[in-house]
Each structure stands twice: as structure tokens, then as C-alpha cells.
Amino acid sequence: MTLEQEINQSNTYYLSHDVAVIHKKPTPIQIVNVDYPKRSAAVIKEAYFKQASTTDYNGVYRGFYIDFDVKETQNKTAFPLHNFHQHQIDHMRQCIAHGGICFALIKFVFLDQIYLLKASDLFSYWDAMENDDGRKSIPLADVQKLGTEIKYKIQPLIPYLSAVDQLINEIS
């Protein structure tokens, strides 16, 4: 199961237990060509992205707007910053400027470790990279130091809102 599927499962749990309302954002596409082999089985043959997507998820938890992206890496020693795009960083900056809570959930696949990394910490590495005075990745040791590890559970599968509680406590 991918990290997004695991987050979707966790969000379904949060919604059904009235804990939070968080949804995956659909990616806007322009459909160009559709094949109709049967009336009930249309197949999209060609489509294009209408615009660059922002982050993967948004919603409301404890009265706070949250917006976050989910990333996976096969790398065992660092998280490559090329997994993000400038428009995603800009979007998170804008959300924070308007009082939102933004972060990234990062999974190191081979280590089976998931971390919540605050957007402000991500920005530090991104800005250093953009100014050519920083690495093009965030070392695992830094993610472990700055982020909050989220351990798998049964329900919800990935209880990331406990880490969001810590972010809320920091700003309250």
C-alpha cells in the first residue's frame, strides 16, 4: 500500500469518528479523448493537467485549517528536495501567511519510517538549495531531529493528527 493509500485510510477513520475532515485534493485534468467500448465503461485515452497541483491534502482539525503533502523516498540516508516543486512551496507559504498549518509527511520506504516535518523546517532547506548554499536533500538525521516520527497503529493506521496536535500547541 502506498503512503497516500495509508493516509486515505487514516482520513476515513478520522472522518467516520468525527475527529477531523481531511480530504485528498483531486488533480484537475482536461480530458481530450475518451473511448466508449461500452456505455458503462468509458476509458480516458488522453488527458492533460489543467494546472500544477498544490499539495495533496487539506481540511479542518480542531478548528484549524491544515494543508499538507505526502512524499515517499527510496533513499535510506536523505530526503531529496526535488520531490517538491516551487509552486507547492509557494502554496504552503501562502497558507501559513493566512493562518493555516502546513507540513509534509515523509516516508523513508526502506526504513519503514514516517515523519511529520513542519513546512517552516522544509522552507529552510528549500531556500538554502535555491540560493545555491545548501544541499539538494535533507539528511535523514535532520528529518529525525526536526520532525516527529509517526508509528503505525491499527486504527488509524497512521495517527498523524497526534503530531499535528504538537504543532497546534506550539502556535496556541
Domain span holding position 144: 3-26+52-171
Determine if residue 12 is labeled as part of a ligand binding site: no
User: Binning pLDDT at 50, 70 and 90, where does residue 43 land?
Assistant: confident
Q: Pull the grid cell for residue 157.
A: 493506521
User: Binning pLDDT at 50, 70 and 90, where does residue 28 land?
Assistant: low
Does 56 fall in a domain? yes
**pLDDT surpasses 80 at 38:** no
Does 105 fall in a domain? yes
Helical axes 119-130 vs 86-97, angle rounded to 10°: 130
Q: Pull the grid cell for residue 110.
A: 526502506
Determine if residue 27 is labeled as part of a ligand binding site: no
Integer Cα distance of 90 and 67 in angstroms: 12
Domains contained in the chain, number? 1
List the helix and strand counts (H, then E) for the chain: 5, 10
Question: In residues, how long is the chain?
Answer: 172
For 53-96, write each residue's pLDDT tens digit: 789 999 999 999 999 999 999 999 999 999 999 999 999 999 99
Q: Pull the grid cell for residue 15.
A: 472522518
Integer Cα distance of 111 and 24 in angstroms: 25
75 phi and psi, to 5 degrees?
-65, 140
Task: Give the per-residue pLDDT at 54.
Answer: 86
Does the CA dihedral 109-70-122-86 come out positive or negative? Answer: positive
Does 31 fall in a domain? no
Determine if residue 56 is labeled as part of a ligand binding site: yes
Does 163 fall in a domain? yes
Task: Give the per-residue pLDDT at 25.
Answer: 87
Does 75 fall in a domain? yes
Does 37 fall in a domain? no
CATH number, domain with residue 67: 3.40.1350.10
Question: pTM of the full predicted structure?
Answer: 0.88
User: Binning pLDDT at 50, 70 and 90, where does residue 127 land?
Assistant: very high
Determine if residue 18 is labeled as part of a ligand binding site: no
Does 145 fall in a domain? yes
Q: Could you tell me which residues come within 8 angstroms of residue 160 by beta carbon, excluding any fewer than 6 positions away?
A: 7, 10, 105, 114, 116, 150
**pLDDT surpasses 90 at 41:** no
Does 44 fall in a domain? no
Closest CA to 7 of 53, 56, 54: 56
Task: Give the per-residue pLDDT at 50.
Answer: 59
For 93-117, write each residue's pLDDT tens digit: 999 999 999 999 999 999 999 999 9
Q: Are strands 101-108 and 64-73 parallel, antiparallel or unpaired?
A: parallel
